[in-house]
Structure 1
Amino acid sequence: MLHSLRTYISHYNTQVGSECMALDITSDNKVVMAICTPLMKRVHEEVKHASELVFIDASSNMDRYGCSVFLLLTHSCAGGLPLGVLITSSEAEGVIEAALKLYRSLLPQKCFGGRGVQGPALIMTDDSAAEQNAISHVFPASQTLLCVFHVLQATWRWLWNGKNQIPKEQRPNHLQHLKRLIYACTEEELEELYQESLQDTTLSDKFKEHLTGYYGRKEKWAIACRLDLQVRGNNTNNFCEAAMRVLKDKILERTKAFSIPQLADYMSTFLDEYYQQRLIDVANGRLQNVIASRYMPQEKSIKLHDIRQLSDSQFIVTSQTSQDRGYDVDMELGHCSCHAGKTGAPCKHQAAVVKHFNVSSTNFVPVNDPQSRLLLYKIATGNCSVPSGFFDGLMTQPSVSGDISIMDASFPAEPVIDEMESIPTSQIDPNPAVASLRAQAAAQNHFDLRGSTRSAQTSSSTNDDDQLLEQFQNMHDDLCTKMKQSPDLYRPAIRAMLASYRGIKTDTHLVSALHTFGKYSGAAMTVRKRGLAAKNAAVRHLNLKGSKKIGVQPTSTARRCHMGRGASRLHAGRPPKSLRIQEHGYSRLSSSQSSAVVPLMRRRRAPAPHSLSHVVSLNKALGKTHSAK
């Protein structure tokens, strides 16, 4: 088998044109293998987050020889991106150290975002002494952090260990004391809560000793000790957990690899193809079920007049709770002075700057940034010869002072529509430059009021056009009169119309809107408003403005046997959690209660749940998904 593995490694390195895979045998006859594909090397060199924080996690039982697979990832607006894969036949400290050294020999010169072989600034793992010791030997300049979820998970298992003799009714209270320490806002609060826990008579002496042992290394798990570190809001290694599920579900399809050469082939080809397609989807704007909502700049409460620009990358955003307070935002560093943005995490203030000023940010998906989308495409494919403008929009969006896109310029929360005697565009528009461009377009008899340079189509009769424009002006005057007479009635409707008009991007869209004006009599607002109960599924999924999803045929939804009959495609891959939850909360009942309520159900012992919050609320033991470290 080792001969076949060496042959495959040699063939792969020759095929890609560089050394991306290596194999070694330790002194105690343990197999270690390191993989850093060309895509992973491009992530090393092009993603700056690789210099700040790297996640490492391991999982075993993926092949028939019981080898362990270590994934190294960094975070980005496109989710977790791979930096390397380690395959070992043991999880001993010496074996992991040998694998990391072998992996370090494959790295490019500008690896880890330019930091080189000294490694990233921070590395996050679970509470495994073997992993942390091996990392400190290979990357001594890197600081190791613990995933807070695994700290809580390990403590809950400790509390349920019979030899520790913690009363069952006291276990949730014991865990709550450690949770308070983890999520303390400041180090002073952390110290105060720790002293309170030591003086609490309800806590057992054995748990206080356990808590003291954790507190001695608080800099590894306490969030209050990370406020000056570039963790960017990542306090758990959820990226690795999600990547492991992708690896087991989508790459291996829940089937163990036959041998190590086959496992290496999956890690170097199919895993690469998955992340390549993921990056291409983000670059092309296909974000459904791919990107977490916090990476989408959807802030709506902060308006343009709440932001003051100091330089090309520095802004001051007024607080929404106190007008006397402002937050400093540095888009180049991706930082904000608010609590959420102190560590570089995406926050609503940065999202507002991205939305109103069209500024590029690595903390958000590049929706309106062609250069960032092009970078994601180059990382995915390695193709550097993409023609200029490949990811530009259909219409060129001119910019005004402050890099504000005319297409995305927002109106103030209280527009000056109340005074409608003679309202020029400059009074309604918050930006004089935008109003000037619109006035120029109107003076040139252009029908596109957003500054478009498209000329009006020439008709056969000029008189008919003049008459049409006169009727249009009469309608405008009539609306202004009604607004003055009943401002409370017409103000919300006019604001909604302006909001819909700002969302129009093309002439075809505008013409379609004009054709359908007045034909829905308020139904559009009812359908589009989120959270409004709909009478049936057809009305609930109706979207008069169109959708990014391609609908399915009604006949195909009628043939479905499951409960959901919506107009979206069927779920592919692992079934969602909702399908595994029994109706009416029977899963929360005891076995005797459940059999009494549902006598016809098949009686079998349900497996222990894996959700930590769920088992803590029920005061039950946590199911074992893997051996505790």
Structure 2
Amino acid sequence: MKEGLFLHVNLRNEHNHRGSCAQAMRRKDVSAEATEKLKKLFEAGHSPTTALDVLKYDLQEVEQDNYVHAAADRSVCPDLQFCYRLYYKLFKKIHGTAAVPETYKDLEKKLDEYNKERGDVCARMCQTSDNQLVIAICTPMMRRVHAGLRESGEMVFVDSSGNCDRHDHHLFLLLAPSSAGSFPLGVFITTSKTQQTISAALELLRTVLPPDRFFGHPDGPFVAVTGDCAALRQALTGAFPKATLAHCVSTLFQAMWRWLWSSSNGVPKQHKPHLLKCFRDLLCASTPAALMEVYTRLMVDDVALQHTKFVRHVQEVYKRREEWAQLPTRGDHTNDYAESAFGVVKEKLLHRLKAYSVTQLVDFVFTRLEAHYIHRLTDAPSSSLRTVMKTEDIWRDSVVQEDQDNYTVASSSNADESYHVNTAIGCCTCPAGIHGGHCDHQSAVARTFGHNESFLRDSSPDTRKLYHQIATGKDIPDIRFQMLDKPSPPERAAGVGYTCCRPATGELSLKERLHSMFVDISKKLENPDFTHPIASFVRTYESIKTDSAMVSALSSFGKNPQTEARGCKRLRDWM
């Protein structure tokens, strides 16, 4: 510049590469419109992955054939990494910083707001003497499970899961089994899994449980089923001293599988299947005599005697047989209910992510967990979760009444064998019903002698009505839950009329049923999984222009053309 030389720069805003190629389009900034859509989806309960999927579905509906090009534009179709960054940034803003003191203040505020909204004390938190945080929650729906579900006083499954948030809090669930699956009775969250912390959490939980907890048994359930966690079992003994602690059979079986495959125990590969089968037979013995017989046979087994460590391990398990054998567990011998429930926690609540903080984890329990089980209970009254008993092979003349509560049912597979059914306690001497589980023989007795199957919790109208009351807290007329049952074979042979298409007298009118259907579909909108399918359904309805097209669409709704012909053939064979 001192020599008078100047450089002139002319900007032409032209690229020396293709500006419309896919690689260049993926470097564009995400538009404000796309960002706002993602935020709304996150607030509705979507994870980064599912929110991006919904965004792509909507983009495909708008762009149609041009979707391939639009999907390459980052401004309207962000990448997954951007969705994750926005997700955590949004929840950081909502739930505060991750620092512990600030988190405790946010959490206390969250619990106070929830209790005021519900008009009762449904959640509490405190710190133990060793500065551990414990949170106890019993939502209104959980309170209704305590009051209305008989099984809540009989048996409770207790299990825990860690790694739920960034501070590795532990989430514990108390679950009651039912014919529609398990339902929560309470939740507590801790920062430690020591006996002292769990005991403090259980004591805090008792303060938020309803007065009629455990179906009117304030001292706790009759049986509590847990895994092999000494701290949890000792804490439960202190909280519910009158409850019998049962050990989960499936965890014992899994522990033995891990023991056999541990190289430190020195079991050859060819012996492992045989030893595992012998141990399974021990756990699955149906009577005390059968248990003793299997144990005696196992102690003299040639393969087992080659492994003294295995024999000692089996002896230790057998000494604790009162914890896992011969308990009145209504046919539920394992904590599969708990494993399924924690699958719900991981998938439905957290979407396989970690909660940003314990405050967000508690918020998920208040919203997502509560909503999931309400949906489950809402589906149960419509019989969509109903278990159908296979009683076609059990005829009326094979059931003999001994007195008011006792019946003898001949076996359908063995003419020389029969089973004893007691309807008062809901048990049968067959392998399926010996511990109170459902079986065909109990169902045959109920249908032959006109019982309401109250002990078969999967089919009675009263049970479906109860599920609706627990889900909504409201009562509706009994006729809503009446069901046209398939008649027994003797009734068909005798020519008893069976109405398969014509509504029974007093049933809801077609107009009322149609209104109920649309109300049910509207409720499904609360579940994000139904948003796109219902939107597609509405668009299809709006695209129909003629009455004939509407008649065709309504007639074929929900039917599979490929299986309809086979279904008609089965109906003709049945009749």
> TM-score, with normalisation over the residues of structure 1?
0.61
Structure 2: how far apart are the matches of 1:504 and 1:313?
35
Partner of 2:463: 372
Partner of 2:473: 382
Q: 1:348 aligns with which of 440, 443, 454?
A: 440
2:157–2:176 contact (8 Å) kept in structure 1:
yes
Once the two structures are superposed, the pairs formed by residues 443-454 of structure 1 within 5 Å of their partners are 450=497
1:219 partner amino acid: E
Q: 1:414: Cα distance to partner?
A: 10
Structure 1: how far apart are the matches of 2:111 and 2:377?
26
Structure 2: how far apart are the matches of 1:410 and 1:502?
14
- 2:100 is aligned with 1:12: no
Structure 2 SS opposite 1:69: strand
- 2:312 is aligned with 1:209: yes
CA RMSD of aligned residues (A): 2.8
1:332–1:361 contact (8 Å) kept in structure 2:
no
Structure 1 SS opposite 2:275: helix
Q: 1:308: Cα distance to partner?
A: 4.1
Structure 2: how far apart are the matches of 1:388 and 1:148?
39
Q: 1:95: Cα distance to partner?
A: 1.2
Instruction: Could you tell me which runs of 5 or more consecutive residues in structure 1 were left unpaired when the two chains were aligned.
Output: 398-406, 416-427, 435-449, 451-500, 508-536, 548-629
Select the structure that is richer in helix: 2
Structure 2: how far apart are the matches of 1:380 and 1:409?
31
Once the two structures are superposed, the pairs formed by residues 83-482 of structure 1 within 5 Å of their partners are 83-116=185-218, 118-203=219-304, 204-222=307-325, 226=326, 229-285=327-383, 287=384, 290=385, 295-309=387-401, 315-321=407-413, 326-357=418-449, 359-362=451-454, 364=456, 367=459, 369-384=460-475, 386-387=476-477, 389-392=479-482, 408-412=486-490, 415=493, 428-429=494-495, 450=497
Partner of 1:60: 162
Partner of 2:146: 44
1:356–1:408 contact (8 Å) kept in structure 2:
no
2:381 partner amino acid: A
Structure 1: how far apart are the matches of 2:414 and 2:262?
49
1:73–1:81 contact (8 Å) kept in structure 2:
yes
Q: 1:220: Cα distance to partner?
A: 1.6
1:335–1:344 contact (8 Å) kept in structure 2:
yes
1:279–1:377 contact (8 Å) kept in structure 2:
yes
1:297–1:364 contact (8 Å) kept in structure 2:
no
**CA deviation profile, 1:487-546 (whole Å, cap 9, x unmatched):** xxxxxxxxxxxxxx6645449xxxxxxxxxxxxxxxxxxxxxxxxxxxxx9544545559
Instruction: Could you tell me which runs of 5 or more consecutive residues in structure 2 were left unpaired when the two chains were aligned.
Output: 1-102, 505-559, 571-575
Structure 2 SS opposite 1:22: strand
2:257 partner amino acid: W
**CA deviation profile, 1:34-86 (whole Å, cap 9, x unmatched):** 11111111111111111111111111111111111111111111111111111
2:286–2:431 contact (8 Å) kept in structure 1:
no
2:201 partner amino acid: A
Partner of 1:74: 176
Once the two structures are superposed, the pairs formed by residues 511-590 of structure 1 within 5 Å of their partners are 539-540=562-563, 542-545=565-568
Q: 1:120: Cα distance to partner?
A: 0.7
The change in CA–CA distance for 1:541 and 1:304 in structure 2 (over 3 A counts) is same
Structure 2 SS opposite 1:329: strand
2:445 partner amino acid: V
2:363 partner amino acid: D
Structure 1 SS opposite 2:173: strand
Number of aligned residue pairs: 412
1:76–1:363 contact (8 Å) kept in structure 2:
no
Q: 1:210: Cα distance to partner?
A: 1.5
Once the two structures are superposed, the pairs formed by residues 476-515 of structure 1 within 5 Å of their partners are 503-506=500-503
Structure 2: how far apart are the matches of 1:179 and 1:373?
36
1:54–1:120 contact (8 Å) kept in structure 2:
yes
Structure 1: how far apart are the matches of 2:353 and 2:134?
22
Q: 1:388: Cα distance to partner?
A: 5.2
Structure 1 SS opposite 2:232: helix
1:314–1:331 contact (8 Å) kept in structure 2:
yes
**CA deviation profile, 1:255-286 (whole Å, cap 9, x unmatched):** 2111111101111221111111111111123x
1:300–1:352 contact (8 Å) kept in structure 2:
no
Q: 1:104: Cα distance to partner?
A: 1.5
The change in CA–CA distance for 1:411 and 1:197 in structure 2 (over 3 A counts) is closer
Percent pairwise identity:
35
The change in CA–CA distance for 1:235 and 1:157 in structure 2 (over 3 A counts) is same
1:74–1:83 contact (8 Å) kept in structure 2:
yes
2:126–2:134 contact (8 Å) kept in structure 1:
yes
Structure 2 SS opposite 1:389: helix
Q: 1:324: Cα distance to partner?
A: 6.7
Structure 2: how far apart are the matches of 1:391 and 1:191?
46
